Amino acid sequence: MQEQDYGAKSFSLKVWKKMLPFVRPYRGALFTAFALMLFLALVDVSIPLFLAYAVDNFVRPGTTAGMGPYIALYAGMILLQGPAVTWMARRAMHVEMNLGKDLKRATFVHLQTLGLSYYNQNAVGWILARVMSDTNHISGTVAWALTDMFWSILYVVFVFGAMLLLNWRLALLVMLVVPFVAALTAVFQSKFLTAHRAMRRANSRLTGAYNEGITGAKTSKTLVIEDRNARDFAQLTGQMYKASLRSSLLSAVFIPIIIFFSSTAVALVLQRGGVMVMENVLPFGTLSAFISYALSILEPVQQIARVLSDFIATQANIERVDGLLSQEPGIIDSPEVVEKYGTTFEPKRENWEPIKGDIEFRDVSFMYPDGDEWVLEDFNLTIPAGTTVALVGETGAGKSTLVNLACRFYEPTKGQVLIDGVDVRERSQLWLHSRLGYVLQNPHLFSGTVKENIRYGRATCCKTRIYNAARLVSADLVVAKLENGYDTDVGEGGDRLSTGEKQLVSFARAVLADPPIFVLDEATSSIDTETEQLIQNAISHILQGRTSFLVAHRLSTIRDADLVLVVKSGRIIERGTHDELMAQKGYYHGLYTAMRIDESAGAP
């Protein structure tokens, strides 16, 4: 469920119950904190009673008889307060840190199970806000707000109990504030929740703008659009300011009203209690205890109201995190497949069959999850193992769609995709994905060294295999020029390397996996001619004996393919070898001729 689906909802315990599986492992720490809060509440309530006893038994009579045991008991109680507070804080902090860790881990692990369509539909800032900001807010509220609320409720209950025992008439005057506070909370709760939801949405947009502003800094500078970025960001911060201001204004109105009613009750107690003391109906020590209770009860009453508003506001964070965790993956293995082949995190590799590489599209029709038009309809194609297939067409024609279906990054809406004669849905996703070598047009390198990036996903590979993989794609020639060779840090996203150097590292990474199915998704379209020549020299060796898909923009990757598929508007309009298609003098002939003219003129 996405965030906007909660727009009309008010505070609901059902939403909070979704956090129980995460809180349950730390219930022992929470119970310890609650027990300590119970002790602290009893101590806090006892202090005015000790003072009242001192006034009536030592101050007014003017004697010190019996003061020794009194001081010992009072001092012992005060001395125990410090360790109790420290222990309670440690337990609450334990819950906060571990609950936040578990929520972050759960959201991150769940993100690994979601398909490409999820990342195509949701911005990075939207996701980051849930994984980082929302989980922090939830863990802090559960750990500290719960314990604060527990102490406040206990203190208020004990204070009312003590006041009823001391003088029930004065106690009723103080208790008049409770129904007003309850009514105000009911009125303000939905307003708090709506305001906080708006603030969290604004925060998501702001986080997204931060991410784009940083990752796209080079593009912004080359386009000289810093001023426009600043204006757009100012608009987003303005929206965040307005949303935050509304939330703060609601609190600024709510809390003073609570204080007003509480202060009114205190005034009534002081007026009535003073008269009763003058009439010798109420002991002076009891009045002093009542004054202490009436003054001290302001803070827990306000704290209860504040914590309630925090709980109401935090529901928006839970809704957002639950929206992420309840997001169903676009592709799910059946229970039978999981039973045999295992999951992404617990694979049963001993049951994995080897892949020969025969691929068949059987009556395949496909529509993107967020689309309303068929990209493929009743498509049939058989690719024998070891065949090199080139996909040619204009940008956006649908070349990558066929590859994504073959690799099971998407599943056909109708029909079947078979590998070695078996529907891919009868095997696990990991079984197939671990046998793929995939090189993208814009490769992503992870923070770390060249060596670590080459063996990414194959962490146990020895240096010899890493060096051989690099040598096979001529990446060793690039590594030799780097300051620290294979131990050179590539920077975040590989920013310290050129596009060609990153591409060669990604080629070596794919080759190291020794995959039976290889995909080059326009892998040579963004590199210089020299680097392309290095790669072309290795491609014939790399693809030998493998089923390969070449999503091609350059002629050099097309001519030697066993099969050329010409894609236009999501449909295969021509198929055959390069020579057969050229002889037909159809769409491919014209496209190839135009590409040849562009390349001979030096156009990218």
How many Cα atoms within 13 Å fall on the side-chain side of residue 331? 26
Q: How confident is the model at residue 114 (pLDDT cuts 50, 70, 90)?
A: confident
Tell me which DSSP letter residue 427 carries.
S
Most confident range (mean pLDDT) of 117-131, 355-369, 494-508 is 355-369
Q: pLDDT digits over 240-249, tens only?
A: 888 888 878 8
User: Does 203 score more than 80 pLDDT?
Assistant: no
**What pLDDT, on the 0 to 100 scale, is given for residue 141?**
92
Instruction: Give the least confident one: 71-85, 225-239, 301-315.
Output: 301-315
Q: pLDDT digits over 222-242, tens only?
A: 667 778 888 888 888 888 888
Q: Are 522 and 551 in contact (CB under 8 A)?
A: yes
Read off the pLDDT of each residue in 499-508 and give the average, rounded to a whole number: 84
Instruction: Give the least confident one: 19-28, 163-172, 204-213, 481-490.
Output: 204-213
**What pLDDT, on the 0 to 100 scale, is given for residue 7?**
45
Tell me which DSSP letter residue 5 carries.
G
Percentage of residues of the chain with pLDDT beyond 90: 27
User: Does 1 score more than 60 pLDDT?
Assistant: no
Which contacts (CB < 8 Å, 24+ apart) does range 309-312 have?
A: 309/188, 309/189, 309/192, 309/251, 309/254, 310/141, 310/145, 311/11, 311/16, 311/141, 311/145, 311/149, 312/11, 312/189, 312/192, 312/193, 312/196
* φ, ψ (nearest 5 deg) of residue 437: -115, 115
Read off the pLDDT of each residue in 496-506 and give the average, rounded to a whole number: 84
**What pLDDT, on the 0 to 100 scale, is given for residue 220?**
72
Beta-carbon count within 10 A of 181 CB: 18
Read off the pLDDT of each residue in 378-386 and give the average, rounded to a whole number: 90
In this prediction the pTM is 0.72
**Regarding predicted confidence, which is higher, 59 or 122?**
122
Q: How confident is the model at residue 600 (pLDDT cuts 50, 70, 90)?
A: low
SS3 assignment, position 41: helix
Q: Which residues contact 422 (CB under 8 A, 6 or more apart)?
A: none
Q: How confident is the model at residue 417 (pLDDT cuts 50, 70, 90)?
A: very high
CA 464 to chain centre: 38
DSSP 553-586: SSGGGTTT-SEEEEEETTEEEEEE-HHHHHHHTS
Strand ranges in 99-197 using DSSP code E only, listed in sequence order? none
Most confident range (mean pLDDT) of 7-16, 278-287, 296-305 is 278-287
Q: Are 159 and 244 in contact (CB under 8 A)?
A: no
DSSP 78-116: HHHHHHHHHHHHHHHHHHHHHHHHHHHHHHHHHHHHS-H
- Name the fold adopted by 100-141+155-325: ABC transporter transmembrane region fold (1.20.1560)
User: Does 603 score more than 60 pLDDT?
Assistant: no
Q: What is the dihedral of CA 564, 567, 571, 572, to 10 degrees?
A: -20
**What pLDDT, on the 0 to 100 scale, is given for residue 10?**
59
Read off the pLDDT of each residue in 492-501 and give the average, rounded to a whole number: 82
Q: Are 269 and 175 in contact (CB under 8 A)?
A: no
Read off the pLDDT of each residue in 313-341 and give the average, rounded to a whole number: 89
**What pLDDT, on the 0 to 100 scale, is given for residue 338?**
93
Read off the pLDDT of each residue in 515-529 and give the average, rounded to a whole number: 75
**What pLDDT, on the 0 to 100 scale, is given for residue 8?**
42
Which contacts (CB < 8 Å, 24+ apart) does range 497-500 have?
A: 497/445, 499/442, 499/526, 499/527, 500/527, 500/528, 500/530, 500/531
Q: Alpha-carbon distance 18 to 319, whole Å?
A: 9
**What pLDDT, on the 0 to 100 scale, is given for residue 598?**
60
Angle formed at CA 145 by CA 142 and CA 150, multiple of 5 degrees = 105
Q: Are 155 and 41 in contact (CB under 8 A)?
A: yes
Percentage of residues of the chain with pLDDT beyond 70: 91
Q: Are 437 and 515 in contact (CB under 8 A)?
A: yes
Q: How confident is the model at residue 210 (pLDDT cuts 50, 70, 90)?
A: confident
Q: What is the dihedral of CA 195, 200, 205, 208, to 10 degrees?
A: 170
In the chain, what are the domain boundaries? 100-141+155-325
Q: pLDDT digits over 121-180, tens only?
A: 787 777 888 898 899 999 999 999 999 999 999 998 999 899 888 888 888 877 777 777
Mean pLDDT over the full length of the chain:
83
Q: Alpha-carbon distance 36 to 157, whole Å?
A: 16
Q: pLDDT digits over 539-555, tens only?
A: 776 788 889 998 876 66
Read off the pLDDT of each residue in 415-443 and give the average, rounded to a whole number: 89
Q: Are 194 and 179 in contact (CB under 8 A)?
A: no
DSSP 217-250: HHHHHHHT-HHHHHHHHHHHHHHHHHHHHHHHHH
User: Does 2 score more than 50 pLDDT?
Assistant: no
User: Does 538 score more than 80 pLDDT?
Assistant: no
Beta-carbon count within 10 A of 14 CB: 7
SS3 assignment, position 520: strand
Q: Give the β-pairing of 547-551 and 517-521.
A: parallel
Q: How confident is the model at residue 190 (pLDDT cuts 50, 70, 90)?
A: low
